[in-house]
């Protein structure tokens, strides 16, 4: 029987606890011997990341018990937190533990507990490590060292360092060998040439972000494992005495997102010099700085073969022993393909997936990655390049709920101000047990993703299903500034943050109302981090939305630019807004903190108390400005949560609170969630 009920009042079997229990996705896949390893989310275990191994017989097991949490805090967003190899005693894995950020070594088949490899430091936020490369023949692991030199978030240096595997540096910082100098603010882990004589890495400096302009650095490796002749290979002048300048202030440069060595000794790299991240090859011996350019490996395609380097160690491509290259590529959506670098021919794997996460591993003729589709969550898939067969080998998507209640998404392109395209994904209300009264239009919530240099993929998201199965539509907007559509689309936000993102979200919302898809009186907006900024900026600049949910947001641009965030993004606003010294009024005029008198719509504010990227202080100042203005609002803060929520109890509370806000604002009667206490 199909029950007629108002949109938003539909009964759904998709409850918040089930959604929370399945939050997150597998990440950082790798191969150890004949086994596939990865990290997996554990919301019920305090949100830790477990290290999982898949044995050759297909059985899966956790390598480390709770509370071990395999997660790095380098750049605060982390990156590749582990590396593994096989010795005569079985697997050897080195990993970063989230609690103290030390590197640990573990031989799980021996039964011994992990042993620390690096020391603690009482200075600032200590020592952190990411993107490890095991060098067992040298008795070391090479990786990025992030070392705090003072108490401020920007008192930090980063170098490539060598850590002894025998544990001799566990209490002795002096036993850590520094391989690179600290001429550059940011570096990735080293990639070592097949013959072991050269290293290459990516570097960049403030105020650039890695999707603005990067350098590819290279060095020789001496017999005793030192770097020599460090120089920029791409993006700099090529002069060994010149550290390599970044792009001019306010100008555009060249972003290299990833590098890898090919079996023939050439260096593969993904550069957006053409306007799209494309794959190239260069001979490091024949090239110096910008004097020579690499050879494009694929015929010109308006697709991305790379992405924004938010996490150090992300991989969009990897060379295979055969000489071909595994690539993740696409425009908006992504596919896994095999590229022949000689002919430029590209053949895609067959499968139901529309999004491949930027993590790959190869083993012989096999490629392993993490993929999802509109009807399945992220799972670990393997492509056998010899047979062309693709199969799921781990973290298999299982319909814990009846898929009849999943949304039926649509990819849409809307028209924004000036006729510009705006890409979005539409998730209409869907529930096989319910229909709305004839003539009623549904409420819709605009979802603004974080970043803002991020991207919302078209994949199954149970949190979206939580709302659509109750009769509330969702529209995820890849507003100007999003990745996946080329550099020009990404740079629409340069100097226009708080303008273009707000306009694009409003254009989609307005179009849905104009075409009769959504109820104009019941539009809402929500987002976290940069999406929280867009939500707050929207609520303080337009009366289009009836309410909004703001999660761990940026609310005060000047505060964020002068010490209230971490080092990685401390000068991000130079490109997003403009130099503070030159346009201080822009920082004030666009900040929701200084526009609090303009907000009239009810809102829910959600914040982690351990957040060092978007600290609680900004929420507290904003609430002080809103207090007494008669605007209904609620503030929920969570101890033990940082930037983004990971604990099951937190996820349940935030989802139910958001639904309660919509029920209150849209006049929907629901009895499955507690009412939200709003204050004015």
d(Cα 468, Cα 430) in Å, to the nearest integer? 6
- Per CATH, domain 409-666 is 3.40.50.1820: yes
Please state, rounded to an integer, the average pLDDT across all residues of the chain: 95
pLDDT recorded at residue 240:
47
pLDDT recorded at residue 34:
95
Instruction: Residue 140: name the closest of 109, 118, 171 by CA.
Output: 118
The tokens describing 291, both together, are 């004097």
pLDDT over 60 at 251, yes or no:
no
CATH architecture of 27-178: 7 Propeller (2.130)
pLDDT recorded at residue 672:
87
Instruction: Residue 72: name the closest of 53, 96, 51 by CA.
Output: 96
Instruction: Supply the DSSP string of 528-562, one letter for each residue.
Output: ETHHHHHHHHHHTT-S--SEEEEES----HHHHHT
pLDDT recorded at residue 208:
96
Degrees to nearest 5, angle at CA 520 with 514 and 524: 120
pLDDT recorded at residue 293:
72
pLDDT recorded at residue 248:
43
Is residue 287 very low, low, confident or very high in pLDDT (cuts 50, 70, 90)? low
pLDDT-above-90 percentage for the chain: 93
The tokens describing 67, both together, are 């509370």
Query: CA 240 → CA 60, 180, 287, distances in Å?
Result: 48, 13, 13
Query: CA 73 → CA 234, 415, 528, distances in Å?
Result: 28, 39, 19
The tokens describing 195, both together, are 């013959």
Q: What is the pLDDT of residues 351-393, one digit of tens each?
A: 999 999 999 999 999 999 999 999 999 999 999 999 999 999 9
pLDDT over 60 at 290, yes or no:
no
Residue that the structure tokens 């109750």 belong to: 470
pLDDT over 80 at 49, yes or no:
yes
Stretch (H or E) spanning 140: strand 140-148
Query: CA 420 → CA 415, 479, 507, 533, 598, distances in Å?
Result: 6, 10, 10, 22, 28
CA end-to-end span of the chain: 42
pLDDT recorded at residue 238:
46
pLDDT recorded at residue 301:
87
pLDDT recorded at residue 300:
74
pLDDT recorded at residue 40:
98
d(Cα 90, Cα 32) in Å, to the nearest integer? 10
Is residue 111 very low, low, confident or very high in pLDDT (cuts 50, 70, 90)? confident
pLDDT over 60 at 130, yes or no:
yes
pLDDT over 60 at 246, yes or no:
no
pLDDT recorded at residue 653:
97
Radius of gyration of the chain (CA): 25
Q: What is the pLDDT of residues 563-599, one digit of tens each?
A: 999 999 999 999 999 999 999 999 999 999 999 999 9
Phi then psi for residue 49, to 5 deg, are -105, 115
pLDDT-above-70 percentage for the chain: 96
More confident residue, 639 or 110: 639
d(Cα 428, Cα 443) in Å, to the nearest integer? 10
Degrees to nearest 5, angle at CA 572 with 327 and 313: 30
pLDDT over 70 at 348, yes or no:
yes
d(Cα 378, Cα 354) in Å, to the nearest integer? 10
pLDDT recorded at residue 235:
85
The tokens describing 247, both together, are 């792009």
- Of 144-153, 410-419, 668-677, the poorest mean pLDDT is in 668-677
The tokens describing 419, both together, are 């006729």
- Cβ contacts of 33-37, under 8 Å, gap ≥ 24: 33/85, 33/86, 33/91, 34/363, 35/91, 36/361, 36/363, 36/368, 36/380, 36/382, 36/393, 36/394, 37/63, 37/82, 37/84, 37/93
Number of neighbours of residue 344 by Cβ within 10 angstroms: 14
Number of neighbours of residue 262 by Cβ within 10 angstroms: 17
Q: Are 507 and 417 in contact (CB under 8 A)?
A: yes
Stretch (H or E) spanning 648: helix 648-666
pLDDT recorded at residue 468:
98
Average pLDDT over residues 48-68: 96
Is residue 408 very low, low, confident or very high in pLDDT (cuts 50, 70, 90)? very high
pLDDT over 90 at 275, yes or no:
yes
pLDDT over 90 at 503, yes or no:
yes
Q: What is the pLDDT of residues 202-237, one digit of tens each?
A: 999 999 999 999 999 999 999 999 999 999 999 864
């Amino acid at each position: 029987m199909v029950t007629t009920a108002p949109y938003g009042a539909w009964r759904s079997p998709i409850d918040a606890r089930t959604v929370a229990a399945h939050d997150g996705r597998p990440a950082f896949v790798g191969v150890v011997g004949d086994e596939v390893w990865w990290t997996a989310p554990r919301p019920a275990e305090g949100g830790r990341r477990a290290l999982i191994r898949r044995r050759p017989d297909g059985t899966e097991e956790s390598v480390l018990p709770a509370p071990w949490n395999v997660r790095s805090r380098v750049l605060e967003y982390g990156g590749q937190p582990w590396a593994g190899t096989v010795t005569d005693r079985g697997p050897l894995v080195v990993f970063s533990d989230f609690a103290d950020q030390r590197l640990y070594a573990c031989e799980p088949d021996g039964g011994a507990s992990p042993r620390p490899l690096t020391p603690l430091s009482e200075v600032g936020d200590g020592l952190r490590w990411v993107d490890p490369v095991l060098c067992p023949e040298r008795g070391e692991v090479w990786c990025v060292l992030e070392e705090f030199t003072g108490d401020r978030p920007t008192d930090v240096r980063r170098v490539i360092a060598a850590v002894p595997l025998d544990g001799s540096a566990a209490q002795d910082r002096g036993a850590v060998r520094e391989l690179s100098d600290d001429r550059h603010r940011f570096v990735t882990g080293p990639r070592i040439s097949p013959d072991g004589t050269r290293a290459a890495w990516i570097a960049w400096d403030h105020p650039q972000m890695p999707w603005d302009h990067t350098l590819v650095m290279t060095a020789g490796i001496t017999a005793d494992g030192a770097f020599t002749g460090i120089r920029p290979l791409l993006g700099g002048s090529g002069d060994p005495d010149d550290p390599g300048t970044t792009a001019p202030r306010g100008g555009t440069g060249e972003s290299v997102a990833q590098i890898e060595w090919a079996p023939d000794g050439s260096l593969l790299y993904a550069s957006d010099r053409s306007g799209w991240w494309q794959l190239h090859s260069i001979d490091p011996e024949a090239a110096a700085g910008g004097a020579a350019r690499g050879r494009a490996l694929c015929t010109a395609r308006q697709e991305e073969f790379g992405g924004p380097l938010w996490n150090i160690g992300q991989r969009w491509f990897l060379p295979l022993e055969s000489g071909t290259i595994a690539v993740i590529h696409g425009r908006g959506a992504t596919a896994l393909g095999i590229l022949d670098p000689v002919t430029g021919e590209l053949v895609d794997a067959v499968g139901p997936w529309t999004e491949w996460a930027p993590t790959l591993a190869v083993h012989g003729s096999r490629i392993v990655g993490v993929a999802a589709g509109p009807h399945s969550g992220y799972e670990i898939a393997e492509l056998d390049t010899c047979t062309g067969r693709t199969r799921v080998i781990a973290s298999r998507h299982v319909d814990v709920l009846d898929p009849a209640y999943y949304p039926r998404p649509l990819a849409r392109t809307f028209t924004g101000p000036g006729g510009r395209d705006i890409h979005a994904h539409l998730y209409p209300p869907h529930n096989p047990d319910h229909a709305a009264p004839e003539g009623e239009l549904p409420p819709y919530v605009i979802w603004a993703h974080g970043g803002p240099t991020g991207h919302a993929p078209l994949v199954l998201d149970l949190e979206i299903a939580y709302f659509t199965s109750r009769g509330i539509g969702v529209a995820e907007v890849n507003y100007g500034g999003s990745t996946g559509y080329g550099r020009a689309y990404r740079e629409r936000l340069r100097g226009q943050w708080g303008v273009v993102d707000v306009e694009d979200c409003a254009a989609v919302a307005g179009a849905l109302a104009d075409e009769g898809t959504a109820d104009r009186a019941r539009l809402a907006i929500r987002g976290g981090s940069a999406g929280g900024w867009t939500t707050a900026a929207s609520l303080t600049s337009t009366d289009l939305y009836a309410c909004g949910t703001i999660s761990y947001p940026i609310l005060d641009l000047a505060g964020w630019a002068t010490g209230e965030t971490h080092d990685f993004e401390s000068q991000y606003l130079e490109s997003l807004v403009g130099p503070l010294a030159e346009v201080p009024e822009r920082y004030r005029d666009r900040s929701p903190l200084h526009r609090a008198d303009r907000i009239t719509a009810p809102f829910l504010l959600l914040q982690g108390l351990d957040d060092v990227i978007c600290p609680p202080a900004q929420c507290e100042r904003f609430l002080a400005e809103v207090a007494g203005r008669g605007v209904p609002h609620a503030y929920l803060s969570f101890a033990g949560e940082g930037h983004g929520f990971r604990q099951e109890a937190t996820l349940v509370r935030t989802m139910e609170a958001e639904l309660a806000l919509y029920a209150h604002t849209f006049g929907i009667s629901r009895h499955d969630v507690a009412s939200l206490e709003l204050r004015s």
